[in-house]
Amino acid sequence: MTTGNFSFQYVWGAEGLLTIREAWEHLTDANPVRRFFTDWAWYYLLETQLNERPFLYIVCSQQNQIRAILPLEQTQQKRGPIELKALRTPKSAALNLYDIVTDTATDPSLINELLHSLSLSAKVSWDLLDLELIPASGDLASLIGNAGLTLDRMGASYYAESQSIHTLSKKQLRNAERLKRKATEDFGPVRIEQATTPAELDQAYNLLLDLESSGWKGERGTAIIHDVSLNNFYRALLSEYGTANTAAIHILYFGTHPVAGELMLRIENSLQILKIGFDDTFRAYGPGTILMSETLQSCATGEAENVHLVTAPSWAERWHLQEDPVMTFHNYNKTTRSLLFRAAKRAAKII
C-alpha cells in the first residue's frame, strides 16, 4: 500500500525475513549506531528458536528504496472488560529492548504515514498499536518525537562509558576489592577466563547455565536450563555471533571454583551484557559484584568504550550508572472496539 511518500509491504515470520535480509542488513550497515536488537540475525534466531507464532515485519519504502523495517507482533489484549486486537512490540524472554530498523536518514513523515497506512490496511486488523521497550536514544523514539507524537517513560536501561567511568560508586568499587581480597585469602587467586571461540563458548555456556541455576532461579524453575526454547536460542546465538567473533562469556574463578559468569555481545567497541549468573554457594563473597566491577572498569582500560546492562536490575542502582530512558508509545485505531475502550477508560479508568 502506498500513502504519501511511502509504500508499505507486510511480510511474516522466518520465511519473510529471508526475503528482506539484504535490505535489512544494508540498513543496519548504513546506521552509524549498531544495536544488536536490530540485527537481522537476532530476529531470525528469535523466529526459528523461540517464537511460538511468526512476527509481522512492515517494510517501509520511499522511491522504491527500503528505508525502514518495523517488527511487530499481532495479539489479543484484555483491557478491562474489552478485548482489543493489538499490534505490539514483539514479546520474548530474550527481547529487552526494541527499535525500528533504519539507516537514520529516514523522512520524519514516516511514522504518521505508517499509522495512516495501517488504519486503511485490509491485511492487518488492529485496535491498538502498543509499542514498548523503546530506548529514548534510539531511532524509533526520534521518529515518533519528530512526528509530534508523545512517548511515555516506562523504565530505563543502564550503562557505563569511558568518559563517565569516574562517576561509578566508589563505595561499590571498594566493596568489590574487599570481597576480592577475602575470596583470594579463602580460595586462592581470583581470575576471569574469557571465552570467544565457538568451542570455548560452548564449554563456558554450560558453566554459566550451572551457575545461573544454582540459586533461586533453579529452585523456581526459571533458569535458562529449564526452558528448552530459550536454551536453544542462546546456544544458536553463541554459534551465530561466536563465528563472527562478537560473542563472549566471562567466567569468574575463586581458585579452581567457577563462581560467576556473564554472556555478552561485543558490538563494535561496546559490551552488551545479556545474561549474568553466579553460584549462590559463594554469595557471601559477592562474586557478581566482583565480576561486574571488573567488567565496568574495562571502560577505564580502553578494552571497551561502554558497557550496557541492557535492562535495569535493582542492584545496578548501587553502581551509579548512566541511564537511557526506556519509552512506550500507544496509538488507537478508529475501530468500534477501540472507541468503546477509550470511552470506558475515560469513564472508569480501567487501566
Residue by residue, DSSP assigns 257-295 as EEEEEEEEEEETTEEEEEEEEE-GGGGGG-HHHHHHHHH
Check: CB of residue 194 under 8 Å from CB of residue 248. yes
- State whether 143 and 23 are in the same domain: yes
Average pLDDT over the chain reads: 91
Q: Does 143 fall in a domain?
A: yes
Q: Does 1 fall in a domain?
A: no
How do strand 82-88 and strand 128-135 relate by DSSP bridges? parallel
Q: Does 212 fall in a domain?
A: yes
Structural domains of the chain, count: 2
Q: Does 161 fall in a domain?
A: no
- State whether 149 and 15 are in the same domain: yes
Q: Does 116 fall in a domain?
A: yes
Query: Helix, strand, or coil here: 5?
Result: coil
Check: CB of residue 80 under 8 Å from CB of residue 121. no
Confidence band, pLDDT 50/70/90 cuts, at residue 231: very high
- State whether 193 and 312 are in the same domain: yes
- State whether 65 and 146 are in the same domain: yes
pLDDT digits (tens, 9 = 90+) for 125-152: 999 999 999 999 999 999 999 999 999 9
Q: Do you know the residue count of the chain?
A: 351
Q: Does 338 fall in a domain?
A: yes
- State whether 61 and 122 are in the same domain: yes
The conformation of residue 317, written as its DSSP 8-state character, comes to G
Check: CB of residue 261 under 8 Å from CB of residue 250. yes
- State whether 139 and 104 are in the same domain: yes
pLDDT digits (tens, 9 = 90+) for 55-111: 999 999 998 899 999 999 999 988 777 889 999 999 888 999 999 999 877 788 999
Task: Please enumerate in sequence order all residues whose Cβ is within 8 A of that of 120, keeping only pairs 6 or more positions apart, or say none.
Answer: 1, 3
- State whether 335 and 271 are in the same domain: no
- State whether 301 and 189 are in the same domain: yes
- State whether 110 and 41 are in the same domain: yes
Domain harbouring 310, CATH code = 3.40.630.30
Structural domain boundaries, residue 128: 6-154+326-349
Check: CB of residue 250 under 8 Å from CB of residue 307. no
Q: Which of 13-27, 82-96, 145-159, 204-218 has the lowest mean pLDDT?
A: 204-218
- State whether 114 and 226 are in the same domain: no
Q: What is the mean pLDDT of residues 297-305?
A: 80
Query: Helix, strand, or coil here: 110?
Result: helix
Q: Does 163 fall in a domain?
A: no
Better pLDDT: 13 or 299 = 13
Q: What is the mean pLDDT of residues 182-204?
A: 96
Task: Please enumerate in sequence order all residues whose Cβ is within 8 A of that of 275, keeping only pairs 6 or more positions apart, or say none.
Answer: 208, 212, 224, 234, 262, 263
Q: What is the CA radius of gyration of the chain?
A: 22
Of the candidates 148, 151, 140, which has an alpha carbon nearest to the alpha carbon of residue 31? 140
- State whether 94 and 221 are in the same domain: no
DSSP string, 35-49: -GGG-HHHHHHIIII
Is residue 272's pLDDT more than 80? yes
- State whether 55 and 77 are in the same domain: yes
pLDDT score recorded for residue 56? 97
